[in-house]
């Protein structure tokens, strides 16, 4: 009996010691992660090293894994983001944002052709399973469906995104643009108008909606409406979209009768902003050449 009692005490002590060891590792992992949080803004590599040590100490702490993934995201190390979140989703499969960020990292790799777009579908579907109200998961799934030539599923996913987050203009822009590309101008107009109505005055996200609406009206031959939308786009563009100067100026130039003075002014402004240096030979090459010829045709000079 004494021997059994002694063995029992030894067993309890060993279990207690192991539990204490696990607890110490968990606490040390949290402390390292807290240090990494403070370090991340000035030394992301150093922060990542501490997160990695923390995860090694406590491989069950999915929150630390997520922090590490976001540090890799800051570096645009998308393969590391995806692999880290693959581990996090194994530990915590009900955390929808882990699935979403994992899918987004896969998308970034697919855009660079190092992975296939198909690989992003499963984590996005898992994201929706985990949280059926997560609008961004529907939105990104629509984008992935577009890249895999499944336009009908893309339309459905974008529509779901809007249902769950009706105040996000980018969803309307993606859905409207897809309708437009598929030749459904009326549906595109309806969606894009709704998107404009969902935004706030001066919201920069409205720029794309107004530009797309101008394309709808161009297809329909409604030039006055096209001009109205381009003018609205210019009002919200700020300095971020010099191309709107070309779009509006070139449209003024082909009206019947043309609005010559305004067209020349806008095209010259576009040229001064976008047709210097690399912009003249790369991004805006065609627009720069067209601006020169239109200004000359209208009787102006650059």
pLDDT tens for each residue of 12-36: 333 343 444 458 999 999 999 999 9
Query: Residue 281 domain-assigned?
Result: yes
Query: Residue 95 domain-assigned?
Result: no
Q: Which of 12-16, 94-98, 131-135, 254-258 has the lowest mean pLDDT?
A: 12-16
- For 160, 195, 301, the CA distances from 199, given in Å and listed in that order, are 18, 7, 39
Question: CB–CB of 100/127 below 8 Å?
Answer: yes
Mean pLDDT of 225-250: 93
Query: Residue 294 domain-assigned?
Result: yes
Please count the structural domains in the chain: 1
Q: Which residues of 222-255 are buried (b: 16+ CB within 10 A; e: fewer)?
A: eeebbbebbebbbebbeeebbbbbbbbbbbbbee
Mean pLDDT of the chain: 90
Condensed to tens digits (0 to 9), the pLDDT of residues 139-176 reads 999 999 999 999 999 999 999 999 999 999 999 999 99
Quick one: how far is CA 67 from the chain centroid? Answer: 19
Q: Which of 109-113, 269-273, 279-283, 284-288 has the lowest mean pLDDT?
A: 279-283
Per the model's pLDDT, the better-predicted residue between 160 and 298 turns out to be: 160
pLDDT, position 107: 98
pLDDT, position 283: 84
- DSSP one-letter code for 278: G
Mean pLDDT of 89-96: 98
Query: Residue 256 domain-assigned?
Result: yes
Query: Residue 189 domain-assigned?
Result: no
Range of the domain at 280: 245-302
Question: CB–CB of 93/84 below 8 Å?
Answer: no
Query: Residue 292 domain-assigned?
Result: yes
Query: Residue 73 domain-assigned?
Result: no
Question: CB–CB of 232/244 below 8 Å?
Answer: no
The verdict on pTM exceeding 0.75 is: yes
Query: Residue 67 domain-assigned?
Result: no
pLDDT, position 74: 96
Residue 247 has pLDDT above 50, yes or no: yes
Mean pLDDT of 203-226: 95
pLDDT, position 281: 61
């Amino acid at each position: 009996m004494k021997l059994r009692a002694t063995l029992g005490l030894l067993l309890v002590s060993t279990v207690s010691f192991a539990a204490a060891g696990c607890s110490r590792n968990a606490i040390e992992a949290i402390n390292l992660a807290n240090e990494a949080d403070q370090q991340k803004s000035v030394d992301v590599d150093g922060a990542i090293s501490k997160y990695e040590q923390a995860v090694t100490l406590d491989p069950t702490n999915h929150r630390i894994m997520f922090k590490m993934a976001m540090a890799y995201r800051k570096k645009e190390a998308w393969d590391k983001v995806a692999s880290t979140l693959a581990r996090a989703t194994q530990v915590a499969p009900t955390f929808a944002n882990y699935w979403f960020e994992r899918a987004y990292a896969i998308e970034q790799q697919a855009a660079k052709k190092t992975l296939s777009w198909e690989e992003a579908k499963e984590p996005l579907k898992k994201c929706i399973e985990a949280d059926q109200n997560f609008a961004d998961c529907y939105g990104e799934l629509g984008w992935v469906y577009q890249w895999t030539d499944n336009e009908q599923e893309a339309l459905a996913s974008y529509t779901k995104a809007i249902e769950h987050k009706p105040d996000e203009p980018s969803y309307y822009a993606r859905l409207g643009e897809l309708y437009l590309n598929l030749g459904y101008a009326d549906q595109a107009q309806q969606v894009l108008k709704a998107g404009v109505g969902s935004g706030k005055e001066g919201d920069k996200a409205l720029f794309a909606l107004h530009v797309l609406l101008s394309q709808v009206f161009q297809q329909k031959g409604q030039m006055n409406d096209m001009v109205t939308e381009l003018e609205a786009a210019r009002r919200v563009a700020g300095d971020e979209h010099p191309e709107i100067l070309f779009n509006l100026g070139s449209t003024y130039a082909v009206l019947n009768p043309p609005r010559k003075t305004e067209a020349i002014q806008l095209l010259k402004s576009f040229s001064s902003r976008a047709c210097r240096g690399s912009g003249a030979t790369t991004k805006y090459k065609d627009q720069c050449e067209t601006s020169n010829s239109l200004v000359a045709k209208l009787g102006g000079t650059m």
